[in-house]
Structures are given as C-alpha cells and as structure tokens.
Amino acid sequence: MDVLPYINEHKKRFLDELFEVLRIPSVSADPKFRDNVIEAAEFMKKKLQEAGADHVTLIETEGFPVVYGDKIIDPALPTVLVYGHYDVQPADPYELWETPPFEPVIRNEKIYARGSCDDKGQVYMHVKAFETMMKTNSLPCNIKFMIEGEEEVGSSHLNDFLRQNKERLKADVVLVSDTSMIANDCPSITIGLRGLSYNEVEVTGANRDLHSGVYGGAVGNPINVLARMIASLKDENFRITIPGFYDDVIEYTAEERAEMAKRPFSLDDYKAELGISDIEGEAGYTTIERATIRPCLDCNGIWGGYTGAGAKTVLPSKAFAKISMRLVPNQSSEKITELFKKHFLSIAPPSVSVKVTPHHGGEPVVTPTDSIAFAAANKAMEQTFGKKAIPTFEGGSIPVIASFENILGLKSILLGFGLDTDALHSPNEHYGLFNFYKGIETIPYFYKYFAELSGSRAPVSQ
C-alpha cells in the first residue's frame, strides 16, 4: 500500500477544503450559531459523499444532527466505526486571537483557527484518508462514519442516538482522532480519558444590589461568600474536600506509575510554554499524573456585581460560578455531581442562599491495549513515524466513548494527532500541517493492519 503519491498530489485541495469548514463557526454552546452548526454538518455530509461513501445522511437527534455515511465493501471484512465531532468550543475572548478564529491562516507551518485541531482538522484527516483509500483502491475494511455536533456540550443526545441506531452502527471497533500525541517526534496512543461533572452555582444575598458604603461590612456579600466557598473545596495539599469524593478513585500501583513516568516530560519546558514560574497540584503526584490519572476541581468562570468601566460602589445581590470536576476511572459522574451538590449547599452560610444546577457530564474511560485494533494502531504509527508509540493517559473527556462500550459493546482506539500545546479551547488554537498530513497518511495503515491482523484477505485489487 502506498498512499503518499495520492496524498501529495491532492495536498493543497485537502487543505483548501479544511479551510472551508473551519470558516463555519459551528459553536454548539451558543444558540446564536445554530445555523452554522448545521451548515458544518451539511459540509461533512457533502464531503463524505464526494469521497465515495454510501448512505450518507444527516440523522436528526433532539439536538444537532449526526452525520452518517458508510462503505461496506464486503460483510465478511471487519468494520471500523469512525467517530468525531464537527462542533467547536466558543472562540471567546475574540480580542486575544492574533487573527480571527473563523478565518483560517497558516503561520509557522500551522493552521490557526478555532476547531483546526479540535476536532474539524482531525475529523477531516479521516475523510481525506477515506478518499485516498477509495481512489487508490486500497480500502481493506468496511467503514462507517458517525460525526456529531454536540461533543463540546456533553453529547447529551448521543446515548439515545446510539440506542436507536444499534443495527446501523454495528462494527468491530471505534476509531477516534480527538486526542493528542506527546510530540511530533514522539508518537503516542491514548489509553485513558477523564470523565466530567460540570455544575453552575448561584449565590444570592440581599434582595437587591446595595450601596456598599451603607451596607458593606454588615450584610453578606455573595461574591465574597462564593470565593470563600470555592476556596474551601481544596485543602492545603490540593486535595478536594468534598466528603466521599475519592472513595471510588483507582490508585495505580508503583509499577504502573513507574511505567507512566517513562513518558518524556520536561517540567521546565512545560512551565516555559505556559508562561508560569511554578506549578501547583495534589501533593504526592507528578504533573503528568495530576493532569491525567488524578481527579481535579476547577472554577471555569465566575461573575457577579459590577464589571463595567470605572468603579461602582455596589454590594451585589448575586454571584455565579461554573465549576467542573474531572473524574478518573471508577468514579461516576452522576454520583460525584450529587456529592458536590450536597456538599456545596451544606457549606453555604445562612447569610446567603445557594442554588446548584448540574450541566453535562461524562464518564472516564480506559481502553484495552491487548486488542487487535490496538496492535494495528501501534503498527500504523510505527510505520509512518518510524518509532513505537507510547501508551498515554490524557486528562480531557470525550463523553461518548464510555457509551460506545456500555450501549454498543464497542471498544475505542484513541488515535489522535494533535499536541497539548495546540491551544485547544484557547485563543489561537492551531494544528500543525505536519500533524494534518501525517494523520491522513497513518490512518490507511490502521485499516490495513486491522484487516490483516483480523485475518481477513486483502482486497483483490492490491
């Protein structure tokens, strides 16, 4: 199999097409972009059709549609279900982008745009790898595509979708590129992701905003109270203080931790890249462990009172925050949300009232490393990077991965080509041209080795 000549010949067009979809602001969290999210779905549909997929359709859900398409070349061959998402995170704050988030440009060999890496760039590698295999007559497996539009808001309608489309989604494994590798010269395959519990809290004090001179010092200030409550959620060792929070957390053995520590990592580079002079986190764990196999709690946003120009002397009536917890294997999103809610209400002083509203969640996952599919992913990476891939745990979440297993009985391969430094969810998100093209080159080898190791015959035309 030699896919490179085709990829090289069409490289410019592949990139132009990716730019087209990057121009569509498909922000699922913001109702103002509703039509754009659907436009991105239509784009994926059209491109799957052009690449040669059959049964291409938008399947409606209670939320945004799922783009489906397949190519069944022989029912006797193994089937790979490709999953990704066409929605993106909000691009705010816009003023921190060097160039506008939905006007992709190349700088320093990187594509700058919201969604360039997460996940349009990575999804598009699959569409173009599929086109390449179709055009070079080298598709060795059956493929099904399922590209959704609500990943960045918790994939809350996907469980119903999976239940309703079990037959259509029958496959041997799920292949996903929505994660990162260690470095361009250090390929890795993700074997674990964290789960999530995301909550919004509202703290109310007096029945109206008050003059801070007349009432300040005598009446509870919801912002001060909220800050105190949030601060109390971690102790001096950065352990989360919610009772029962750690009860289900799996502790890794010394051997497992030693294995994980082999992954190359420079704390100095890490700090320098983030522009910080020191790190902080749970005592007794390394930075990589803190960011992957340990749970954490973070305030994602906090507001209230007067934030306009100049000064206004006011004691606000309300304060708000969005608080997330990343969860690790064996923790349950639902259970942690309950524990958080109970605890947060219990620590509210009588001077305020508190409301907790859970948003979305997701379960943590660990993927097997002893499967044919994992071996195929390893061989594919070794083939195109000339190096063995390192298995890694990562700290982000992809809620549907646990559902693939629970509802469809399918394991996933998390074969991502991004880098942690690609500024996902941040201003100036980017994706390396190297990574985009390397993905398109590597993916066909996954299919080749997956078919070979599954004991299938190679397609006649090869």
List contacts with ligand BES (CB under 6 A).
118-119, 151-152, 154, 178-180, 193, 196, 360, 362, 394, 396-399, 424
Q: CB-wise, 123 or 380, nearer to Zn ion?
A: 123
Q: CB-wise, 325 or 352, nearer to ligand BES?
A: 325
Q: Report how far residue 407's alpha carbon sits from residue 397's, in angstroms, rounded to the nearest whole number.
A: 18
Q: CB-wise, 352 or 419, nearer to ligand BES?
A: 419
Q: CB-wise, 27 or 143, nearer to Zn ion?
A: 27
Is residue 220 within 8 A of residue 229, CB to CB? The reply is no
Question: SS3 for 133?
Answer: helix
The amino acid at residue 81 is L
Is residue 24 within 8 A of residue 46, CB to CB? The reply is no
DSSP output for 265-317: --HHHHHHHHT-S-----TTS-HHHHTTTS-EEEEEEEEES--SSS---EE-S
Q: CB-wise, 118 or 363, nearer to Zn ion?
A: 118
Nearest to 110 by CA among 344, 341, 423, 387: 423
**Considering the complex, what minimum distance in angstroms separates the CB of residue 88 from ligand BES?**
9
- Cβ neighbours of residue 226 under 8 Å, at least 6 residues apart? 201, 203, 302, 304, 319, 320, 321
399, interface contact from Zn ion, ligand BES, none, CB < 5-8 Å by kind: ligand BES
**Considering the complex, what minimum distance in angstroms separates the CB of residue 360 from ligand BES?**
5
Residue with tokens 């320098």: 272
Q: Which stretch binds Zn ion (CB under 5 A): 116-124, 278-286, 383-391, 438-446?
A: 116-124
**Considering the complex, what minimum distance in angstroms separates the CB of residue 148 from Zn ion?**
12
Q: CB-wise, 56 or 91, nearer to ligand BES?
A: 91
Per-residue x/- marks for Zn ion, 9-38, CB under 5 A? ------------------------------
459, interface contact from Zn ion, ligand BES, none, CB < 5-8 Å by kind: none
Q: Report how far residue 202's alpha carbon sits from residue 369's, in angstroms, rounded to the nearest whole number.
A: 43
Q: CB-wise, 31 or 308, nearer to ligand BES?
A: 31
Torsion angles phi and psi, residue 314, rounded to 5: -140, 145
Q: CB-wise, 70 or 118, nearer to ligand BES?
A: 118
Distances in whole angstroms, Cα of residue 253 to Cα of each of 218, 292, 389: 52, 15, 22
Q: CB-wise, 154 or 187, nearer to ligand BES?
A: 154
* 131 forms part of the interface with Zn ion (CB under 5 A): no
**Considering the complex, what minimum distance in angstroms separates the CB of residue 395 from ligand BES?**
7
360, interface contact from ligand BES, Zn ion, none, CB < 5-8 Å by kind: ligand BES
Cα 252 to chain centroid distance, Å, stands at: 24
17, interface contact from Zn ion, ligand BES, none, CB < 5-8 Å by kind: none
196, interface contact from ligand BES, Zn ion, none, CB < 5-8 Å by kind: ligand BES
State the chain's maximal CA–CA distance in angstroms.
85
Burial of 143 (0-12, 13-18, 19+ CB in 10 A): buried
**Considering the complex, what minimum distance in angstroms separates the CB of residue 398 from ligand BES?**
5
150, interface contact from ligand BES, Zn ion, none, CB < 5-8 Å by kind: none
* 394 forms part of the interface with Zn ion (CB under 5 A): no
DSSP output for 371-414: SHHHHHHHHHHHHHHSSPPEEEE-S---THHHHHHHHH---EEE
Q: Report how far residue 182's alpha carbon sits from residue 250's, in angstroms, rounded to the nearest whole number.
A: 24
429, interface contact from ligand BES, Zn ion, none, CB < 5-8 Å by kind: none
**Considering the complex, what minimum distance in angstroms separates the CB of residue 153 from Zn ion?**
10
**Considering the complex, what minimum distance in angstroms separates the CB of residue 89 from Zn ion?**
6
Q: CB-wise, 78 or 439, nearer to Zn ion?
A: 439
**Considering the complex, what minimum distance in angstroms separates the CB of residue 392 from ligand BES?**
10
- When CB distances to ligand BES are compared, the closest residue is 396
* 118 forms part of the interface with Zn ion (CB under 5 A): yes
422, interface contact from ligand BES, Zn ion, none, CB < 5-8 Å by kind: none
Both tokens assigned to 354: 């508190």
Q: Report how far residue 227's alpha carbon sits from residue 305's, in angstroms, rounded to the nearest whole number.
A: 13
Nearest to 418 by CA among 383, 392, 444: 392
How do 195-204 and 318-327 pair as beta strands?
antiparallel
Q: CB-wise, 337 or 397, nearer to ligand BES?
A: 397
**Considering the complex, what minimum distance in angstroms separates the CB of residue 120 from ligand BES?**
11
**Considering the complex, what minimum distance in angstroms separates the CB of residue 361 from ligand BES?**
7
Residue with tokens 């602001």: 25
The amino acid at residue 348 is A
- Site residues (CB under 5 A) for Zn ion? 118
